[in-house]
């Protein structure tokens, strides 16, 4: 069986376990295992046969037993039994269409169908409109998804934080340098690479193959190897001659288009020497996406960040108190930290009412007495309601030192309505920043249908900053959007959206994303002192 077949069977098993109300952790475990196997670069059947399949991330003893049964017999007995009752192909199609397992069965029963093919026929005949709960918009969305069913789905990369952890640990073990997508700080990393300098390559190649993160070596040359990681992703090792290390590192770091545009690369022991020999200024790795030969700007550095303007505490969905977050930010060398807990309309987590915002202000004042001269700012992440109003009244917002506006609920509004909703919030005189403007979750949820060019224009006119959110699965604005925002004259804020002390480390990702968009310190508000941050905004 190939990997796609094995993954499909595990996915089907997860669907059916969900239908019979199995433990949700078990269901998620099978789905994660299916995704790992689907993207693995080596036949999983071989790993099962050799007893090494548990080296893949997310494969425990229970799933290993199912895989062994599947490989040896061609079936999973419990799956076969459930299939006789529940038609997993129909449930699988429903999941592709964005329907949960239970809803898929409900729709199928309403249509009087039992298989995916019968479902497709019913949809083509226009019978979906008769199903309770399916209106014209939902029907159109389902039909559009069915029309795309045969199209190949792009492979998903690793989130940047996970990619850095994986590649960074391998690089450290080999005394090498992380390269590929992670060194350019791409938000989703597909090309993973490590480059090390070695007069004799064989010891490095042998050590690479023996690393616990490497399941198998699937290609090997004199100075290069391609290994399969625990996540099922390929990672390249280049053991370069010391005199060619800089050349190998640049080649393994830049995008294909960037490297190709440089032409023939001379040998060099380090990258700066290589750029000198090319007659070009040194180009930071973050800018090595598209061909570029000019002089790069002095990009924003993490040491230039003076404070963090987006963090959460136990007052909403954070894990640390006001003082604990403030003390941790002070220890990072910051001058200030804004506490921006949620408001009630966020829905999924606890939000603060007007009275709670004021009571939190008392706690912030007490923390400031103990942490001075460091400053904890009274802030809020205030939801933008569907009609554009904010979730707290203006008299409460007027008391605060930092107000971020965010869209959480009803994100799938049509472009014009969503843009009008955000624009109204940006015109509120107390809003200082728009949080995670596009609402995306990398590899999970696409950007909202927001007219960014109009948002940029209104933000510039009103003196409202736009956030570069450092949560690894957001990184929103993206590097591309940062570049467009800067061209439009918009001010940025690099923030972490930290929900814990550890979350303050997300500043590294936020700054790197801003650098990918060519951000300089003069365009980032929290690269300035406290006075600039708490000053009334332009346009208020």
Return the higher-pLDDT residue of 25 and 508. 508
Region 32-53 average pLDDT = 87
pLDDT at 153 over 60: no
Write phi, then psi, for 150 (nearest 5 degrees).
-85, -5
Q: Are strands 375-383 and 336-339 parallel, antiparallel or unpaired?
A: parallel
CA angle 35–496–306, rounded 5-degree value:
150
Q: In the numeric block, which tokens belong to residue 185?
A: 């700080």
Task: Check whether 268 has a pLDDT greater than 80.
Answer: yes
Question: What confidence category does residue 151 fall into, taking pLDDT thresholds of 50, 70 and 90?
Answer: low
- As a residue count, the chain comes to 540
The pLDDT-based confidence of 446 (bands split at 50, 70, 90) is confident
pLDDT at 83: 65
pLDDT at residue 359 above 70?
Answer: yes
Q: What mean pLDDT is predicted for residues 390-400?
A: 97
Task: Report the predicted TM-score, pTM, of the whole model to 2 decimal places.
Answer: 0.76
Averaged pLDDT for residues 436-448: 90
Lowest mean pLDDT among 3-12, 95-104, 410-419: 95-104
* Nearest residue to 379 via CA among 298, 468, 332, 316: 316
What's the half-sphere exposure (Cβ side, CA atoms, 13 Å) at 274?
21
For a pLDDT cut of 90, what percent of the chain falls above it? 68
d(CA 532, CA 492): 13
Query: Which whole number is the average pLDDT over 115-124?
Result: 88
Range 265-278 average pLDDT: 97
The model's confidence at residue 433, banded by pLDDT at 50, 70 and 90, is very high
Torsion of CA 448, 453, 457, 460, to 10 degrees: 70
Q: Is the pLDDT of residue 102 over 70?
A: no
Res 35: pLDDT: 84
pLDDT score recorded for residue 84: 65
- On the CB side of 281, CA atoms within 13 Å amount to 10
Peptide bond into 164 cis (omega under 30): no
Average confidence (pLDDT) over 412-429 = 95
Predicted local confidence at residue 306, as pLDDT: 98
The mean pLDDT value for 407-421 works out to: 91
**Which range (125-129, 269-273, 336-340) has the least confidence?**
125-129
What integer pLDDT is reported at residue 88 of this predicted model?
A: 57
Measured between alpha carbons, how far is 340 from 487 in angstroms, rounded to an integer? 28
Q: What was the pLDDT predicted at 87?
A: 65
> Has residue 540 got a pLDDT over 80?
no
pLDDT one-digit tens code per residue, 227-252:
988 677 899 999 999 999 999 999 99
Q: What is the distance between the alpha carbons of residues 183 and 168, in angstroms, rounded to a whole number?
A: 10
Residues 155-212: tens digit of each pLDDT: 678 999 999 999 999 999 999 999 999 999 999 999 999 999 999 999 999 999 988 7
| pLDDT higher than 70, residue 91 | no
Confidence of residue 148 (pLDDT cuts 50, 70, 90): confident
Question: In sequence order, what DSSP letters do the residues of 164-217 get, joined into one string?
Answer: HHHHHHHHHHTT-EEEEGGGGT-SEE--EEEEEE-SSHHHHHHHHHHSTTEEEE
Give the pLDDT confidence score for residue 252 in this predicted structure.
98
Query: For residue 101, is pLDDT > 70?
Result: no
State mean pLDDT over 360-388: 97
Mean of the per-residue pLDDT values of the chain: 91
Percent of the chain with pLDDT over 70: 94
Distances, alpha carbon 131 to alpha carbons 86, 109, 122, in Å? 20, 9, 11
The predicted pLDDT at position 444 comes to: 80
First to last CA, the chain: 64
Does 326 or 96 have the greater pLDDT score?
A: 326
Q: Can you spell out the DSSP letters for 76-135?
A: -HHHHHHHHHH-HHHHHHHHHTT--HHHHHHHHHHHT--SHHHHHHHHHTTGGGGSTT--
pLDDT-derived band at 409 (thresholds 50, 70, 90) equals confident
Domains and CATH numbers, the chain: 3-147 (1.10.150.110), 160-287 (3.30.460.10), 302-534 (3.20.20.140)
Q: How confident is the model at residue 515 (pLDDT cuts 50, 70, 90)?
A: very high
């Amino acid at each position: 069986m190939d990997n796609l077949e094995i993954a499909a069977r595990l996915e089907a098993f997860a669907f059916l376990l969900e239908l019979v109300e199995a433990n949700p952790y078990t269901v998620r475990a099978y789905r994660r295992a299916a995704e790992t196997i689907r993207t693995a670069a080596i036949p999983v059947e071989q790993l099962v046969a050799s007893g090494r399949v548990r080296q893949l991330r997310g494969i425990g003893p229970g799933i290993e037993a199912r895989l062994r049964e599947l490989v040896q017999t061609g079936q999973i007995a419990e799956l076969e039994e459930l299939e006789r009752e529940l038609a997993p192909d129909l449930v699988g199609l429903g999941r592709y269409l964005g329907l949960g397992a239970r809803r898929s069965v409900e729709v199928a029963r309403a249509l009087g169908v039992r298989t995916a093919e019968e479902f497709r026929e019913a949809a083509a005949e226009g019978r979906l409109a008769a199903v309770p709960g399916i209106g014209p918009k939902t029907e159109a969305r389902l039909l559009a998804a069915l029309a795309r069913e045969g199209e190949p789905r792009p492979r998903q990369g690793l989130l940047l934080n996970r990619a850095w952890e994986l590649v960074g640990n391998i690089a450290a073990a080999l005394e090498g340098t992380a390269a590929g997508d992670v060194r350019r700080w791409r938000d989703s990393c597909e090309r993973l690479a490590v480059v090390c300098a070695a007069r004799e390559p064989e010891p490095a190649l042998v050590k690479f193959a023996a690393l616990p993160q490497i399941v198998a070596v699937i290609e090997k040359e004199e100075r290069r190897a391609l290994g399969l990681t625990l996540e099922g992703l390929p990672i390249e090792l280049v053991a370069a001659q010391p005199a060619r290390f800089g050349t190998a590192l640049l080649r393994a770091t830049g995008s294909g288009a960037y490297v190709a545009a440089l032409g023939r690369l001379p040998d060099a022991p380090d990258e700066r020497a290589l750029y000198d020999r090319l007659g070009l200024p040194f180009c930071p790795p973050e800018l090595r996406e598209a061909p570029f030969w000019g002089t790069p700007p002095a990009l924003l550095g993490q040491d230039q960040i003076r404070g963090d303007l987006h963090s959460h505490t136990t007052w909403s969905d954070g894990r640390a108190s006001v003082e604990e977050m403030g003390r941790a930010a002070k220890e990072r060398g910051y001058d200030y930290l804004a506490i921006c807990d949620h408001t009630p309309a966020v829905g999924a987590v606890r939000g603060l009412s007007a009275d709670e915002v004021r009571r939190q202000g008392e706690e912030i004042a007490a923390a400031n007495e103990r942490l001075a001269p460091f400053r904890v700012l009274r802030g809020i992440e205030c939801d933008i309601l569907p009609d554009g109003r904010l979730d707290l009244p203006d008299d409460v917002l007027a008391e605060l030192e930092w107000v971020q506006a965010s869209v959480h609920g009803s994100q799938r509004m049509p472009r014009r309505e969503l843009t009008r909703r955000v624009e109204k919030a940006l015109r509120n005189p107390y809003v200082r920043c728009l949080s995670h403007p596009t609402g995306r979750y990398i590899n999970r949820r696409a950007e909202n249908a927001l007219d960014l060019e109009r948002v940029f224009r209104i933000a510039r006119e009103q003196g409202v900053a736009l956030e570069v959110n450092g949560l690894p699965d957001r990184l929103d604005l993206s590097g591309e959007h940062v570049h467009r925002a800067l061209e439009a004259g918009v001010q940025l804020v690099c923030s972490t959206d930290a929900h814990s002390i550890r979350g303050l480390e997300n500043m590294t990702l936020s700054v790197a994303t801003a650098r990918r968009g060519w951000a300089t310190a003069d365009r980032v508000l929290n690269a300035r002192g406290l006075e600039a941050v708490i000053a009334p905004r332009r346009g208020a």
